[in-house]
């Protein structure tokens, strides 16, 4: 081959290679041919089958909240199967569209399934590439189907409303936000029992209400109890996960006089296990809290140092009392180490943990726990 001809063939190589990078449309799907799933409910039926309830967005019917006319913005589909995957495939017989899961906001587990154990259904969620590991996981008292079929006054797509509700409760430190990645990590870590967020759907005077306050407590992969909003915030104090909120000091339930509201600005906590020379183990929970004075119901301006120190003392005791709530519940009622005390011991005293890991369920409820709080008030609450 002469040189000019060789150059012509060489110049064609980039063109040929570029063709390999061009994507075709053989696998494309029109938007109106897929069903975008916004939320999934997972229940265990009385016959032992897995029931899935999918909240599917209807693009042609989407409309702003309050807008009249058009179709519903979501349709709800249910399917049963012997496994999660089996039930998922069952949707193909009930929907003309291929269901699409990457935009799923929340996955809600029914109470019966959660008490039976979540590991079997989590297996598929971890394997399926369409299910995002950052999807919120929640448990409901009752059937997850009821939550998925619920309407919302705030959003035409109820699952979107639930997702925003989680963010709202998280900023107020009244719920336990946990995604799929976090929960699967909790299950497989020694010395740490899992928790999940809680969601309740109800109707009051005909109006739909969603409540994401509190949490669900597990031992292994099985639900064993519930936390209310106060207990959830106490849990967040210990777990270094406080994002904000109000601490209310009420000296007298029968009087408004003397009540104080502290606004949480920043919080930090850590667990410090201490192994004494005689082999006794104890746990110290160290908490730092920075707050502003949001309200003094005696309408008093703080001018003297002694008054300011008294406010710090009150705030310190409030945080101690709030934190003690979950320690008592975990040790005396649940007897489940949801506070990761065992994990802290494992990291600091690995030899002790290896020797006593099998006894931890009996050690944890009897463990001596001390709560140390350093409270700081950033402002003195001056009145304009």
d(CA 261, CA 291): 10
**What per-residue string of b and e applies to 104-134 under the rule 16 or more CB within 10 Å gives b?**
bbbbbbbbebbebebeebbebbeeeeebbee
User: Which residue, among 49, 165, 36, has the nearest Cα to 101 in the 3D structure?
Assistant: 36
> Could you read off the pLDDT of 22-58 as tens digits, one per residue?
555 544 455 556 789 999 999 999 999 999 999 999 8
CB 359 within 8 A of CB 285: no
Per-residue model confidence (pLDDT) at position 62? 46
Closest C-alpha to 243, from 210, 268, 222, 262: 268
pLDDT given for residue 12 in this prediction: 63
Sequence spans of domains, the chain: 33-61+71-227, 241-383
158-215 pLDDT per residue, tens? 999 999 999 888 888 989 999 999 999 999 899 999 999 999 999 888 889 999 999 9
- The superfamily in CATH containing domain 241-383 is Nutrient germinant receptor protein C, domain 3 (3.30.300.210)
Measured CA to CA, the distance from residue 109 to residue 286 in angstroms comes to 34
pLDDT-flagged residues of the chain (< 50): 26-28, 61-70
Please report how the helices 305-328 and 229-238 are oriented relative to each other, as an axis angle in degrees rounded to 10: 100
Give the torsion through C-alpha atoms of 183, 189, 192, 197, to 10 deg: 0
Helix (H, G, I), strand (E, B) or coil at 72: coil
- What contacts 344, CB < 8 A, 6 or more positions away? 191, 271, 272, 273, 283
- Is-contact 99 35, C-beta < 8 A? yes
**187, 194 in Cβ contact below 8 A?**
yes
CB 352 within 8 A of CB 277: no
- Cα(103)–Cα(258) distance, integer angstroms: 49
- In angstroms, rounded to a whole number, what is the distance separating the alpha carbons of residues 157 and 148? 10
What's residue 194's pLDDT?
A: 96
Residue appearing with tokens 């006054």: 153
Angle between helices 119-127 and 180-187 (to 10 degrees): 130
């Amino acid at each position: 081959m002469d040189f000019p001809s060789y150059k012509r063939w060489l110049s064609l190589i980039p063109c040929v290679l570029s063709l390999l990078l061009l994507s075709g449309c053989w696998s494309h799907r029109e938007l109106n041919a897929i069903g975008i799933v916004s939320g999934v409910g997972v229940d265990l039926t009385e016959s032992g089958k897995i029931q899935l309830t999918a909240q599917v967005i209807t693009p042609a019917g989407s409309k702003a909240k309050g807008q009249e006319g058009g179709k519903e913005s979501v349709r709800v589909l249910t399917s049963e199967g012997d496994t999660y995957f089996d039930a998922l495939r069952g949707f193909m017989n009930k929907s003309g569209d291929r269901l699409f899961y990457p935009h799923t906001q929340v996955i809600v587990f029914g109470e019966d399934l959660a008490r039976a154990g979540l590991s079997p259904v989590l297996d598929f969620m971890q394997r399926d590439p369409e299910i995002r590991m950052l999807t919120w996981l929640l448990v409901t008292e009752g059937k997850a189907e009821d939550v998925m079929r619920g309407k919302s006054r705030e959003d035409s797509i109820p699952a979107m409303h639930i997702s925003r509700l989680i963010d709202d409760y998280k900023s107020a430190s009244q719920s336990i936000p946990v995604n799929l990645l976090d929960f699967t990590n909790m299950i497989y870590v020694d010395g740490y029992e899992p928790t999940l967020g809680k969601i309740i759907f109800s109707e009051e005077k005909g109006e739909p209400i969603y409540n994401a306050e509190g949490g669900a407590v597990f031992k292994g992969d099985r639900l064993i109890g519930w936390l209310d909003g106060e207990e959830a915030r106490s849990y967040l104090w210990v777990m270094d996960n406080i994002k904000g909120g109000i601490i209310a000091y009420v000296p007298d339930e029968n009087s408004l006089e003397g009540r104080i509201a502290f606004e949480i600005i920043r919080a930090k906590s850590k667990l410090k296990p201490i192994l004494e020379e005689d082999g006794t183990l104890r746990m110290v929970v160290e908490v730092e809290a920075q707050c502003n004075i949001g309200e003094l119901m005696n309408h008093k301006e703080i001018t003297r140092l002694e008054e300011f120190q008294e406010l710090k003392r009150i705030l310190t005791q409030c945080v101690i009392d709030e934190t003690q709530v979950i320690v008592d519940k975990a040790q005396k009622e649940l007897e489940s180490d949801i506070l990761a005390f065992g994990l802290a011991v494992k990291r600091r005293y690995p030899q002790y943990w290896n020797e006593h890991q099998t006894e931890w369920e009996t050690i944890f409820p009897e463990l001596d726990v001390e709560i140390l709080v350093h409270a700081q008030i950033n402002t003195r609450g001056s009145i304009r």
